A and B are shown apart, each in its own frame.
Chain A
């Protein structure tokens, strides 16, 4: 659950949205009514923060944050937004996450003029540009907000605005409360055009909180103040395919090469079909297990036609294995049992196929030395998994990296900038620099995909089994698994040992 905080209109001369109606939607609701109905499942009684006096509003936010027992979701009450966007933001795992819009980059021709000063030499400034009615006073980096200014606080190379929605995880709530109180005491330093969310993020960033960012991507968000804007927003929002965005979001990113190009291209449509027919994720898992066991049975015959059938079946077992997670995310049906079943039976499917292959080899008149290869394959794969799990623990034990801080009353962010540059230089030395270079090489597509394939992820493993078993024999399958798996283990182990050293 989440504690929702509705912000009244910003200090800028916005009008209350109470009377604005979304004619395009069924029931002709007002903007505020619709937003409340969208948020009711998160928090039936959202905290409301009156607009007008910035200091009073900041203190009110601090009060809410202080008494919070859940994650906080802050959103202006004149927001027109897709349900799915609210869902995605509130499900984020970041300690703090802001929805932003970046200023469009200047045309290629202008860029030469514009970017003549590199960012490291750029002078801090008071952002005077506007984007969607908000002053451009934030500097967005690749994954987080680097710096925010106000009417009296300069910021280096501002390029983005905080659109409004802001998600703060419970562990950052005390910092939010403390920050808002400090900001309230200096409310006279903010201009009439500074937005409340922008001021809050200004405080958080200067206090060293890592505020993540995301854009709207394929979803709709806008703040509205006039009926004209409401009509426009209503029409534009209705023209976007929210269901498709939801479906696309159900597909896990960062998958391997095989999964991305030979499964994820269409698995989402099976997921949607299954979800609409009311299949639960666990039922899909069951389909996948059945296919896996059938594949093992086919392999166990040792006959060529059956081996081919087994290869096809194991491929579809993997497809449905991807689909179950997508159904869970699309239908928003998560369960501890489902997560466990999925993971446990992934392993079962893989290893039962090993057994099937070995049996098939012996049945078709070969010696039972094949079991030694099967043992090597299962042992290696289990240990590779355990390497992943254990390294994950070592990462989770690390203290979170500290970001540099800056006094709230510092007139410009140049000291923050300098501290960040220093930090970056420190981190680019020795082993860390080497690791950084290696991760930067990921911008080349070939390197990116080669790196994904070398670790021999689940998609590649199932594909390797399907292809080698269908075309060759069990021996080739196990040799492929053992050799590729050994290379993968050596590669990941090298990287992780270096990371442990860094």
Chain B
């Protein structure tokens, strides 16, 4: 599940601990796991280490695309299956390792690559694919920009957005059955309406004054990661 940072019910938590928890929740939200991942994550035991598994998936997709294995037909389901087999089992991990921050970009990169190689092979309109990449990208940006102001998108958006795994399954299956163009059109339109309407309504409904107070309490909203580090630790690396 998306662990929404709840107001602490117990005694005031250690601020460092609390910060780590909220930031990790954000990192997990960037993965954009969907209903299938959430349904299976609890049943997979320890799971796979996220960075190596996702990296292998990404390289595998690059490899099968490069050797020309992808031809119209059922084989187009393969990239999606690679992702499911290798990346889905990474969900139970806590993502606290020193390199685990690489997971969301690797995962999104692998997702985009799988989408693109499959759709290009099955002859779907390329502009439509571009729009789908933008819409999925928008959802990720939206998650980032809202959570950094401590305004969390509701958990149902991540479910209704289908997650990377169902999106890839749908695209892979549609390509395998040679019906990708209509499916891509419907999927893109559905996600566009979903993400756009949810964003707009949530901004209309939001109590902006109290949200501002929460955002002000957050540190360094605009600082680049390196600047943020410098501010947090008091270490200036300026020569």
Q: Point out residues on A near B: beta carbons under 8 Å.
A: 93-95, 142-144, 171, 210, 212, 252, 254, 334-337, 339-340, 343-344, 347-348, 351, 354-355, 358-359, 368, 371-372, 374-375, 378-379, 382-383, 385-401, 403, 435-436, 439-443, 496-497, 500-501
Q: Verify if B208 is at the interface (C-beta below 8 Å from A).
A: yes
- 15 A-B pairs within 8 Å (CB atoms) are namely A93-B219, A142-B236, A143-B234, A143-B235, A340-B145, A347-B138, A368-B127, A371-B126, A379-B116, A392-B228, A394-B100, A400-B16, A500-B98, A500-B99, A501-B98
Q: Verify if B206 is at the interface (C-beta below 8 Å from A).
A: yes
Q: Verify if B221 is at the interface (C-beta below 8 Å from A).
A: yes
Complex contacts, B229 vs chain A, CB 8 Å: 395, 398
Residue in A144, A387, A389 with the greatest tally of chain B CB atoms within 10 Å = A389
Query: Which of these, B19, B99, B225, contacts A392 with CB under 8 Å?
Result: B225
- Whether the Cβ atoms of A254 and B237 lie closer than 8 Å is no
Give residues of chain B (100-125) contacting chain A, Cβ–Cβ below 8 Å. Answer: 100-105, 108-109, 112-113, 116, 120
Complex contacts, A252 vs chain B, CB 8 Å: 222
Complex contacts, B27 vs chain A, CB 8 Å: 390, 393-394
- Whether the Cβ atoms of B208 and A442 lie closer than 8 Å is no
* Contacts A375-B126, A395-B229, A397-B20 given; does A382 touch B212 at CB 8 Å: no
Binary A-proximity of B74-110 (CB < 8 A = 1, otherwise 0): 0000000000000000000000101111111100110
- Whether the Cβ atoms of A375 and B129 lie closer than 8 Å is yes
- Whether the Cβ atoms of B235 and A336 lie closer than 8 Å is no
Query: Which of these, A340, A435, A440, contacts B146 with CB under 8 Å?
Result: A340
* Contacts A254-B224, A336-B206 given; does A391 touch B101 at CB 8 Å: yes
Q: Point out residues on B near A: beta carbons under 8 Å.
A: 15-16, 19-20, 23-24, 26-27, 30, 96, 98-105, 108-109, 112-113, 116, 120, 126-127, 129-131, 133-134, 137-138, 140-142, 144-146, 149, 151, 203, 206, 208, 211-212, 215, 219-239
- Whether the Cβ atoms of A336 and B208 lie closer than 8 Å is yes
- Whether the Cβ atoms of B146 and A374 lie closer than 8 Å is no
* Contacts A358-B127, A382-B108 given; does A339 touch B145 at CB 8 Å: yes
Complex contacts, B133 vs chain A, CB 8 Å: 375, 378-379, 382
- Whether the Cβ atoms of B130 and A400 lie closer than 8 Å is no
Complex contacts, B149 vs chain A, CB 8 Å: 336, 339-340
- Whether the Cβ atoms of A389 and B138 lie closer than 8 Å is no
Complex contacts, B232 vs chain A, CB 8 Å: 395-396, 398, 400
